């Protein structure tokens, strides 16, 4: 048995690469035809119901506008309710039929159940669930001074996807609806100072890939992978329990990735979801790194160490301490997000 395994380890990888090289032109042609026919038969979102979590973020806001242009009914969900009102006004101006504003924390199952059930009670059905709630960071793991905040990164980036999906699935089955997922290429492409974020996004992708097999064709799943976009992730801030922002003292140049502008990404994501695509990738050429990671990981590691030598080196300075935003009274930093309960549902007339 060991001999057979050794032979397969030696033969299968190169044979698979050769087969893939020959099959690539045919697969590309098939995918092009599939894209063409899906485009002709894409979903008409007029009067359809779309729930968007993390709607106050850069990508969540732009996704709301894209669905509004398609005349969908929107349910905007976020903790920062004050930001949702302006977004709801803009969405109605762009063509949204009805817009509901709901303050909720997606890391709490009972609050996810509340805004999904409120959506069903108001509209009667649900067609698209768009999960965009996400929290990034830009620091080395050793710089963190309070490891008690680590679980909050997983709560927002992973459980913030699982809970809304779990509650919404029965209603999405009824309409043969779709889930649009805001993932990231950092889930498989190594970047320094993003260890916790990358781990959480990897969990998200594996969760939805497995769920895709479980729900089969009854509920569609579109996974969007991209580089850094928008402004929210670049602020590299945390939140205190009371909601006060804190920042790291040390500011470093950000490692640039080609995720593109958030408006362009939102258009691609909504178009892909309406077309029924399994994946939306920006830029798509990053996929080639998956082959290197699987078959030549050393080459990938050497390349990134060379390209990111100034950014990826282990910090030699003392651990940076979080400081509060100007004018804030001294408080203990214990979490990324406010822990206070959300206000009741409100509806934008």
In a domain, 66, yes or no: yes
Residue 324 zone, left/alpha/beta (φ > 0; ψ -120 to 50; rest): beta
What is d(CA 309, CA 312) in angstroms, rounded to the nearest whole number? 5
Is residue 276 in some structural domain? yes
Q: How distant, in Å, are the alpha carbons of 37, 161, 189, 222, 244 from that of 211?
A: 25, 12, 22, 12, 36
What is the structure's pLDDT at 304?
75
DSSP string, 290-321: HHHHHH-HHHHHHHHHHHTHHHHSPP-SPPPP
At 220 the pLDDT is 96
Q: Is the pLDDT of residue 230 over 60?
A: no
Q: Does residue 92 lie in a domain region? A: yes
User: What confidence tens digit (pLDDT) does each residue in 324-345 have?
Assistant: 333 333 333 323 333 333 444 4
Provide the number of structural domains found in the chain.
1
**Pick from 19-28, 128-137, 140-149, 340-349: least confident:** 340-349
User: Residue 49 and residue 71: Cα distance in Å, rounded?
Assistant: 10
Q: Contacts by 346-349 with C-beta closer than 8 Å and gap 24+?
A: 346/81, 346/101, 346/102, 346/103, 347/100, 347/101, 347/122, 348/85, 348/88, 348/89, 348/92, 348/99, 348/100, 348/101
pLDDT of 112: 97
Residue 241 has a CB neighbour count (10 Å cut-off) of 15
Token pair, residue 193, equals: 């100072």
Give 245-270 pLDDT, tens digit per residue: 333 333 333 333 444 588 999 999 99
pLDDT tier for residue 294 given thresholds of 50, 70 and 90: confident
pLDDT given for residue 32 in this prediction? 83
Q: Which residues of 200-213 are buried (b: 16+ CB within 10 A; e: fewer)?
A: bbbbbbeebeebbe
Which has more confidence, 331 or 142?
A: 142
Two tokens at 198?
């990358």
Q: What are phi and psi of 236, to 5 degrees?
A: 35, 60
Q: Could you tell me if 54 and 60 are in contact, meaning their C-beta atoms sit under 8 angstroms apart?
A: yes
User: CA-to-CA distance for 80 and 238, rounded, in angstroms?
Assistant: 14
Q: Who wins on pLDDT, 327 or 25? A: 25
Residue 21 lies in a domain: no
Is 270 part of a structural domain of the chain?
yes
- Scan for tokens 């928008």, then name that residue: 230
How much is the pLDDT for 181?
Answer: 96
Summary mean pLDDT of the chain: 79
Q: What is the mean pLDDT of residues 195-220?
A: 94
Paired residues of 324 in beta bridges: 246
3-class SS letters over 223-274: EEEECCCCCCHHHCEEECCCCCEEEECCCCCCCCCCCCCHHHHHHHHHHHHH
Q: How far apart are CA 322 and CA 180, in angstroms?
A: 34
On whether the CB atoms of residues 272 and 224 are closer than 8 A, the answer is: yes
Residue 234 reports pLDDT greater than 50 = no
Check which CATH number belongs to the domain holding 177 and give it. Answer: 3.40.50.720
Q: What mean pLDDT comes out for the span 27-53? A: 86
pLDDT band at 63 (very low <50, low <70, confident <90, very high): very high
Do the domain assignments include residue 42? yes
Confidence (pLDDT) at 135: 85
Assess if residue 14 is contained within a domain.
Answer: no
pLDDT-derived band of residue 190, with 50, 70 and 90 as boundaries?
Answer: confident
Instruction: Identify the domain containing residue 271 by its residue range.
Output: 32-309+320-348
Q: What is the pLDDT of residue 238?
A: 42
Task: Return the closest-CA partner of residue 281 out of 53, 31, 20, 26.
Answer: 31
Alpha helices, H only, 45-108: 58-69, 81-94
208, part of any domain: yes
**Alpha carbon 110 to chain centroid distance?**
21
């Amino acid at each position: 048995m060991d001999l057979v395994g050794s032979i397969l380890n030696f033969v299968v990888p190169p044979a698979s690469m050769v087969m893939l090289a020959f099959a690539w032109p045919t697969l590309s042609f098939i995918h092009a035809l599939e894209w063409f026919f899906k485009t002709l038969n894409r979903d008409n979102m007029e009067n359809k119901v779309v729930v968007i979590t993390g709607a106050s973020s850069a990508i969540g806001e732009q996704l709301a506008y894209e669905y509004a242009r398609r005349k969908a009914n929107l349910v905007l969900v976020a903790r920062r309710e004050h930001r949702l009102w302006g977004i709801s006004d803009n969405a109605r101006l762009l063509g949204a039929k009805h817009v509901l504003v709901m303050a909720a924390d997606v890391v709490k199952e009972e609050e996810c159940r509340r805004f999904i059930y409120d959506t069903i009670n108001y509209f009667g059905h649900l067609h698209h669930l768009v999960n965009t709630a996400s929290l990034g960071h830009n620091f080395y793991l050793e710089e963190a001074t309070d490891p008690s905040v680590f679980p909050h990164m997983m709560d927002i980036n992973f459980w913030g996807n699982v809970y809304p999906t779990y509650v919404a699935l029965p209603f999405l089955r009824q309409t043969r609806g779709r889930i649009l997922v805001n993932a990231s290429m950092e889930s498989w492409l190594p970047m320094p100072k993003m260890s916790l974020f990358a781990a959480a996004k990897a969990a998200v992708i594996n969760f939805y890939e497995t769920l895709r097999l479980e729900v089969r064709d009854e509920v569609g799943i579109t996974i969007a992978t991209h580089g850094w976009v928008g402004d929210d992730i670049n602020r590299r801030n945390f939140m205190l329990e009371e909601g006060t922002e804190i920042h790291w003292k040390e500011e470093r140049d950000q490692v640039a990735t080609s995720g593109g502008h958030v408006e362009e990404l939102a258009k691609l994501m909504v178009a892909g979801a309406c077309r029924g695509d399994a994946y939306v990738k920006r830029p798509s050429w990053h996929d080639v790194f998956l082959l290197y990671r699987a078959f030549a990981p050393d080459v990938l590691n050497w390349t990134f160490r060379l390209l990111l030598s100034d950014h990826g080196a282990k910090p030699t300075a003392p651990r940076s301490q979080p400081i509060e935003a100007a004018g804030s009274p001294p408080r203990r930093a214990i979490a990324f997000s406010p822990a206070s309960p959300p206000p009741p549902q409100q509806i934008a007339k």
